[in-house]
Amino acid sequence: MHPLWWVAVGASLIAIDYLVGPDFRYPVVYVIPVILAAWYSGRQPAVALAVAIPAAHIVLLLAVWTRPADIASLVAATMLRGTVILLLAVWFARLSEHERALHQHVHRLEGLLPICCFCKSIRTQAGNWEPLEAYISDRSEAQFSHGFCPSCGKEHYPGIDYHDASVN
């Protein structure tokens, strides 16, 4: 999601906070947009949202909802809740980054691959035949090295003792 979308979400939450007043003790509901921002837009929008909402709440406490008797405890509670939400934002952003990295790392070829039974070339969707190694290398991070297995070694090089170890 585009990070600017979260500006509208943050403004909406601040407006709700203003309308409800200081007795609304900074609800846990603010965690949900921060987590969604972290997951779908990354660390910066989530951290910005996690910092902006408590900061706006503190500004509203000091400028609009002034009650000198309990203002210090309300500001302290808002800062504590904001810190927890900020930690959640960073944690979910990191979790999201980790999942994206895993998704990029794991690439799977699926479906039926038409392969020549003699030369092992694969027919592409365009109808061209590509060597197996080129086909897989172009579509994944796999690299190939060539050698021969012990049974092929015995068949093609009968004078060499392989002791069931592959040769690369």
Mean pLDDT by 10 residues, the chain (168 residues): 72 74 65 85 88 84 74 79 88 91 73 87 91 87 83 84 56
Per-residue pLDDT, 95: 93
Per-residue pLDDT, 49: 86
Distance CA 156, CA 168 (A): 15
Per-residue pLDDT, 38: 87
Per-residue pLDDT, 23: 66
Per-residue pLDDT, 111: 78
What does pTM read for this prediction? 0.54
Distance CA 120, CA 47 (A): 52
Asked if residues 147 and 167 have their Cβ atoms less than 8 Å apart, the reply is yes
Cβ count within 10 A of residue 54: 23
Per-residue pLDDT, 14: 74
Q: Rg of the chain over CA atoms, in angstroms?
A: 30
Per-residue pLDDT, 162: 63
Cβ count within 10 A of residue 95: 13
